[in-house]
Structures are given as C-alpha cells and as structure tokens.
Amino acid sequence: MKIEEQYNTLATVLSMAFDQASVGKGKVRHADNEPFDKQIICEVSRRLQNHPTAAPLFQAVKKIYESGRLNPPAAIHELLGAINYTAAAIILLKEKFENEQQSNTGENT
C-alpha cells in the first residue's frame, strides 16, 4: 500500500494498533488462534442484536478514559487498544449493513 507522505504519522499509529492486536497483548490475551472478526471482541457483540457495537464502543471509551490517568507510554498503549475496539465496532457495523442488504435483496426476489 502506498502511503502519501502527509499521512505517515497516521499510518504509524494505525500500524502500532495493528501490531498490538495481531502480535502483542491482543493476540496473546484474546486471539485463541482465531481471526480478529471471530475473536470474543466481535463474537460477544454479535449476541447483542439490537446494539452490536455497544460492547466494543464501551471498551474503547473505557480505555480512552483510563489513558488520562496514565504516563505517556501506558496511555499510548490504552489508546491503541481503543483504536482496535473501535475497529471491531466498524467490522460489526459493516457486517450488519451487509446482512441487511442481503436480507432486503432476498425479499425482493
């Protein structure tokens, strides 16, 4: 992927969040050798059919709040976790939208 120079700092932060989820704490504590979208971060939320993003967004807000009382390295770690929980919410919203689109398409045929 080519990254425009003016977005290098953003790419660095997103890469750090990816590393935390795929190599660091996220993988060690939560992955259980499953793909990100099949891990508990998403699976528990799927059970909340009316509010599938409630759990990951709560966790993101919690991490954001906690970051305010921590030293900079620890705060960065928490904020990277918030990015990953927000990414899970996006995955779930996209999944819900795609499922709704398929249902609507199925009804019209």
Residue 66 lies in a domain: yes
Is the pLDDT at 24 greater than 80? The verdict is no
pLDDT number for residue 12: 94
| Paired tokens of 89 | 């919410």
Residue 13 lies in a domain: yes
> pLDDT (tens digit, 9 = 90+) per residue, 83-106?
999 999 999 999 999 988 988 887
Which residues span the domain enclosing 42? 5-98
pLDDT number for residue 23: 86
| Paired tokens of 53 | 């993003």
Residue 107 lies in a domain: no
Whole-model pTM: value is 0.81
Query: Which band of pLDDT confidence, cut at 50, 70 and 90, is reported for residue 107?
Result: low
> pLDDT (tens digit, 9 = 90+) per residue, 30-89?
667 888 888 877 888 888 767 889 889 999 999 999 999 999 999 999 999 999 999 999
Residue 38 DSSP code: G
Q: Are 85 and 63 in contact (CB under 8 A)?
A: yes
Residue 103 lies in a domain: no
Residue 106 lies in a domain: no
pLDDT number for residue 40: 79
Residue 92 DSSP code: H
Q: Give the total number of structural domains in the chain.
A: 1
pLDDT number for residue 29: 65
Vertex 17: Cα angle to 90 and 32 (nearest 5): 80
